[in-house]
A and B are shown apart, each in its own frame.
Chain A
Amino acid sequence: MDGVHDMGGTDGFGKVEVEKDEPVFHAPWEGRVLAMQRAMGYAGAWHIDHSRFAQERLPPLTYLGVSYYQRWALAMENNVTERGYASPEELKAGHAVTPGKTLPRKLTLDVVERGLTRSSFFRQQQGPQRFQPGDRVRTKNIHPASHTRLPRYARGKLGVVELCHGCHMYPDSVAVDRGDDPQWLYTVVFTSQELWGPDADPTSEVSIDAFEPYLESA
């Protein structure tokens, strides 16, 4: 979706400011939100792209106005209630009214220690790989109303395939519960002038990772 989360190239946010001592959390609850998010992710309650999409669907003023972990907390609240892990009434009352929903699998402590908090995005190849490194491609000019990982600044642009990463689950399908729908994933390089016009810095370039449905031959 063309939301405010798609920030590449937006003006007006000011300088990049480095915070003193760079604390990773500013309050203990932020860490717990992160930990719950990872626990629920491993348990198969929802996928990372459901979390991303839930953030993207926040009202624009909220997305821009709240802090990073506040955004995570709001997205998690939506996923918890929309997917039936707790109801809004239960959240309000502060105690359970119905039994918990069974999870596809459970995070156990030994799994955390091995760092296997989520599963792999890699999937068996489905169809033939359409593009090869060196191929010229154009990204499609698409504006889906739901989740996509093709940033707006890189749509309808001419680039060159640099790498192929194999087949991966397709976020655009996963986020709307249409299954893994594996697609080939490529690194595609664009000159800054292709992305930002003739006045752009000729000595810089940008690459994105593009799923095959985002691309056409050029």
Chain B
Amino acid sequence: MAADERKHGDPVRPAPAHGHGHAHDHDHDHDHDGQPRTPDTNETGYYELMATAIRELLIEKGVITADEVRKQLEFMDSRSPALGAQMIARAWADPAYKKRLLADGTKAAAEFGIPMGDAELIVVENTPKVHNMIVCTLCSCYPRTVLGLPPDWYKSKSYRSRAVIEPRAVLEEFGTEVRDDVTVRVHDSNADMRYLVLPMRPEGTEGWSEEKLADLVTRDSMIGTGLPKNPKEIA
């Protein structure tokens, strides 16, 4: 579970005593079944200090600069699902682009000026017979350059453990209905290929502009845990 990734105390490193006179959101102190957990403010204190120490040391030693760290963060901040949505919308509107996208995702992303960095992009197409879904069971591989940073649930132990063994149960929890006569294909992105799902174009969108089509493309529909929005929602 997503919150679980953040709540537990560190069983290895001792945390200092916890004071309440600070401005941290206190809803982290209990999980949903009411069990008290070690508040994550203590660990954050420790890790914040450690991360700062590493950063300042590396800067002092001339290994990195503060500007590089800031710029790097700005670049990652500028990546969002809107980038992937543009590509999907064009593939829906332009059969030639769709062909290029499925043949070489990395090159098709470059057509929008989206760099993939070191990884390769593989685009997998949903059809009336196959529904695709992406996971990384070993770490947290995710097409960050076209979708931005992954949500917590994608990196959670729960999603990583369950997506490959009971994908339909996971889809159900997301409220995503995939009929029994459709094969669910789970892609475990365990090497350095990054996967993006090309969802099916919703019916009732004939003649729509790429811009309007892009509004239908949700992040989860490109991971495969969701579907595009219903055209009626935005018409």
Residues of A near any B CB (own CB < 8 A): 5-11, 13-19, 22, 24, 26-27, 29, 31-36, 38-40, 43, 45, 48, 52, 55, 59, 61-62, 64-70, 73, 76-77, 80, 85-86, 90-91, 94-96, 98-101, 103, 107-109, 112-122, 149-151, 153-154, 165, 168, 171, 185, 187, 189, 192, 195-196, 200-201, 203-211
- Contacts A13-B161, A19-B153, A32-B55 given; does A96 touch B60 at CB 8 Å: yes
- Contacts A11-B161, A36-B54 given; does A115 touch B190 at CB 8 Å: no
Residues of B near any A CB (own CB < 8 A): 1-6, 8-12, 40, 43-44, 47-48, 50-58, 60-64, 67-76, 114-120, 137-140, 145, 148-153, 155-168, 170, 173-174, 180-193
> Which of the listed residues A55, A171, A205, A210 has the most CB atoms from chain B within 10 Å of its own CB?
A205
> Which of B69, B158, B187 meets A35, CB within 8 Å?
B69
B183 touches A203 (CB 8 A): yes
- Contacts A9-B164, A65-B8, A121-B118 given; does A112 touch B75 at CB 8 Å: yes
A100 touches B61 (CB 8 A): yes
Which chain A residue lies CB-closest to B186?
A: A206
Beyond A13-B1, A31-B76, A95-B57, 12 extra complex contacts between A and B, CB < 8 Å: A7-B160, A14-B1, A16-B2, A17-B1, A18-B151, A19-B2, A68-B5, A68-B6, A115-B117, A115-B145, A207-B187, A208-B188
Residues of A within 8 A of B63 (CB): 40, 43, 45, 85, 100-101, 103
